[in-house]
Amino acid sequence: MTTIVRAATDSSTMLRRNLLRMVRYPSMTLMLVGMPIVFLLLFVYVFGATLGAGIGAGGSGTDGRTAYLGYVVPGILLMTVAAAANGTAVTVSMDMTQGLIARFKTMPIARVAVLTGHVVGNVVQSLIGVAVVLGVALLLGYRPAAGPLGWLGATGLLALIAFAMTWLSVALGLVAKNVESASNLPMPLTFLPFLGSGFVPTDSLPVGLAWFAEHQPFTPMIEGVRGLLSGTPVGSAGWLAVGWSVLISALGYLWARRLYDRRTG
Amino acid sequence: MTEQSDPAIVTVGLRKAYGEHVVLDDADLRVPAGSVYALLGPNGAGKTTTVNILSTLVAADAGTATVAGHDVARDPDAVRAAIGVTGQFSAVDHLLTGRENLRLMADLHHLGRARGRERVEELLERFGLTEAAARPAATYSGGMGRRLDLAMTLIGTPRVIFLDEPTTGLDPRSRREVWRFVRELVRGGVTIFLTTQYLDEADQLADRVGVLDDGRLVAEGTPDELKRLVPGGHVRLRFADADGLEAAARALAGSTRDDQALSLQVPADGSLASLRDLLARLDAAAAEVQDLSVHAPDLDDVFLALTDRSASRKAPPA
């Protein structure tokens, strides 16, 4: 068997394992999807009317709330992707502490398969999470203007972002000394949308924070998804989002590979 | 191929240090194919490090190691294809069922669907897990988890199996079960390299035993050879009071006294003649013995003698 075929076969075996784990442990997925949904409900029903008026979209009251729903969904989707990545760090750390990674490393399987199994599994989980959160948003009255191409683009961009977040989380899961710290290390990812354009426009933030918000990767990611879903011009945000994703994926991959080769658990 | 006559494991000058701390110092090992080798030592002696190096998990700092004819550093994949490893803790996926865990291993060994399934059922049966096969591994007892772990190790029919403390934390019945599986495997021609802190385990299972202490191989041989390293057995006498102990200690030169336990340890080969002689001398000294027991030399004596020596070489106990 050639190296490539072996890597593909072993990766798909590992992917099956991770999907099976997802089925066996649905509460993990529910918890990861539940948190963004709670934030969605909180921001739409509690803060929505006021924030809607604040972003200057369509008056106050119910109109403001609906307008804010349209604004906040992309940020919530990014939060969903980040929360799912958090789950990966926990799973990888469990594999590490329970000796499974050591077991896999003593077997004649493609080195990268263990990690790619986690990564692809998590991208699938992220997209399921994104679909569920979008479903809830649609129930609440979210009506994006995107055409088929916009949807396709948004899905692709979200998948790419999930891919990047996951490689980073795999590395964080490998570097963590135990499962508890693995669940805490990626936490900032979940909250970065707050310090970007996820919940309020960056120009409403104080100067220093606004500078950070404009330059951190989540802002172009959110703007990219927002543009694609609302059918408005994406501008440079799209390419910036893709660039950041590729960069984070590459760094996360290299870091994870290095840790995987070095650490024995 | 002359695999059968070639040793399954050979190491020369194996060395590993983590920072300043030397965990394995110049270890030379030779394990004939089809035999059981036990690496014996207290916690932190370097047992797991040795297994990790031989199973390609960790690279040695110096020295060479060959497993199943392949160099672990130059050709790790060939080594991996020939070995099975059961680590110190049951490395099973707790969310998956026993059967799913085994199928995962079968798929990773590229057994193919039909042969893989067959092998999985065969191993479930052999390890008494057929009934529990559809339950998540998280619900398994310690002994069942170990059995599943072993079954997972065997999926790829390895020629050399590493068992790192395979019975640590198991109840006596599960321990005996593991021993039974080890003996079965050896009958099938497999080479087994195990680590243990239990001397009776090494005595029960191993053809050869290496005693590892503080990263150094301090003794090696068959269990019988090792037992011959310590001078014979002893008779242990207990006394009702200090006077009895005092009188007996004076009468029996070469004995070791323990004032706290009111006991005396007298070197003896355990023969009837030596016992008769001992009793006669005790009678002559009018020492009242409360309790007498005869100890044949076992690996405990070897172990304590060898590791004590190096313990006193380092620092006096606090």
Nearest chain A residue to B107 by CA: give it. Answer: A13
Any CB–CB contact under 8 A between A98 and chain B? yes
Residue from the list A13, A24, A25 with its beta carbon closest to the beta carbon of B108:
A13
Residue B65 CA to residue A67 CA, distance in Å, equals: 68
Residue from the list A6, A10, A100 with its beta carbon closest to the beta carbon of B91:
A100
pLDDT at A250: 97
Question: Over 80: is that where the pLDDT of B316 sits?
Answer: no
The mean pLDDT values, 10 residues at a time, for chain A of 265 residues are 85 94 88 92 88 70 82 93 92 91 91 91 93 94 90 95 96 92 87 86 88 92 93 87 96 94 71
Q: Which residues of A touch B110 (CB under 8 A)?
A: 1, 6, 9
Nearest chain B residue to A28 by CA: give it. Answer: B95
Q: Given an 8 Å threshold on Cβ–Cβ distance, is B96 in contact with A21? A: yes
Q: What's the pLDDT tens digit per position in B107-136? A: 999 999 999 999 999 999 999 999 999 999
Closest CA to A125 of A80, A157, A65: A80
Domains of chain A, residue spans: 3-262
Any CB–CB contact under 8 A between B107 and chain A? yes
Residue A263 CA to residue A173 CA, distance in Å, equals: 12
Instruction: Give the CA distances from residue A144 to residues A40, A193, B120, B174, in Å, rounded to whole numbers and listed in that order.
Output: 16, 20, 50, 61
Radius of gyration of chain A (CA): 19
CATH topology of domain B7-228: Rossmann fold (3.40.50)
Residue B293 CA to residue A193 CA, distance in Å, equals: 75
Residue from the list A16, A24, A98 with its beta carbon closest to the beta carbon of B136:
A24
Any CB–CB contact under 8 A between A106 and chain B? yes
Backbone angles phi, psi at B184, to 5 degrees: -60, -45
pLDDT at A129: 94
Partnered with residue B30 across adjacent β-strands are B10
Q: What's the pLDDT tens digit per position in B271-315? A: 788 888 888 888 888 888 888 888 777 667 777 777 765 544 444
How high does pLDDT run on average in chain B?
A: 87
Q: What's the pLDDT tens digit per position in B223-269? A: 888 877 766 678 888 988 888 888 888 888 878 888 888 888 888 77
Yes or no: say if A57 and A71 are a contact pair by the CB < 8 Å rule. Answer: yes
Q: Which residues of A touch B104 (CB under 8 A)?
A: 13, 17
How high does pLDDT run on average in chain A?
A: 90
Yes or no: say if A110 and A6 are a contact pair by the CB < 8 Å rule. Answer: yes
Domain B232-296 part of CATH 3.30.750:
no
pLDDT at B249: 87
Residue from the list B52, B91, B96 with its beta carbon closest to the beta carbon of A20:
B96
Closest CA to B233 of B313, B153, B300, B164: B300
Instruction: Give the CA distances from residue B245 to residues A18, B236, B256, B279, in Å, rounded to whole numbers and listed in that order.
Output: 68, 12, 11, 14
pLDDT at A228: 93
pTM value? Answer: 0.82
Name residue, tokens 């060939």: B78
Q: Which residues of A touch B150 (CB under 8 A)?
A: none
pLDDT at A1: 63
pLDDT at B76: 92
Q: What's the pLDDT tens digit per position in B165-213? A: 988 888 888 889 889 999 999 998 999 999 998 888 888 899 999 998 8
pLDDT at B315: 44
Nearest chain B residue to A114 by CA: give it. Answer: B108
Distance from CA of A257 to the nearest CA of B (A): 15
pLDDT at A59: 56
Residue B294 CA to residue B299 CA, distance in Å, equals: 16
A93 or B4: which leads in pLDDT: A93
Backbone angles phi, psi at B148, to 5 degrees: -60, -45
Residue B55 CA to residue B49 CA, distance in Å, equals: 10
Give the torsion through C-alpha atoms of A87, A88, A89, A94, to 10 deg.
90
ipTM entry = 0.86
Q: Given an 8 Å threshold on Cβ–Cβ distance, is A16 in contact with B107? A: yes
Q: Which residues of A touch B90 (CB under 8 A)?
A: 99
B-interface mutation test, from A107, A261, A262, most B Cβ less than 10 A away: A107
Which B residues, 40 through 99, put their C-beta within 8 Å of a C-beta on chain A? Answer: 52, 55-58, 77, 80-81, 83, 85, 87-96
Between chain A and chain B, how many beta carbons pairs sit less than 8 Å apart?
A: 65
The DSSP-derived string for A17-77 is HHHHHHHH-HHHHHHHHHHHHHHHHIIIIISHHHHHHHTT-S-SHHHHHHHHHHHHHHHHH
Residue/partner pairs of B259-265 with CB below 8 Å, 24 or more apart:
B262/B238, B263/B236, B263/B237, B263/B238, B263/B239, B264/B236, B264/B237, B264/B238, B264/B239, B265/B234, B265/B235, B265/B236, B265/B237
Question: Over 80: is that where the pLDDT of B149 sits?
Answer: yes
The DSSP-derived string for B180-223 is HHHHHHHHTT-EEEEEES-HHHHHHH-SEEEEEETTEEEEEE-H
Edge-to-edge order in the sheet of strand B233-239: B256-258, B263-268, B233-239, B289-295
Angle between helices B113-126 and B98-108 (to 10 degrees): 130
Residue B24 CA to residue A77 CA, distance in Å, equals: 51
Q: Which residues of B touch A100 (CB under 8 A)?
A: 91-93
Nearest chain A residue to B88 by CA: give it. Answer: A99
Domains of chain B, residue spans: 7-228, 232-296
Question: Over 50: is that where the pLDDT of B2 sits?
Answer: no
Residue B230 CA to residue B308 CA, distance in Å, equals: 13
Residue from the list A13, A20, A108 with its beta carbon closest to the beta carbon of B81:
A108
Yes or no: say if B206 and B163 are a contact pair by the CB < 8 Å rule. Answer: no
* Burial grade of A5 (CB within 10 A; 0-12, 13-18, 19 or more): exposed
pLDDT at A39: 94
Any CB–CB contact under 8 A between A205 and chain B? no
Tokens standing for residue B245: 């102990």
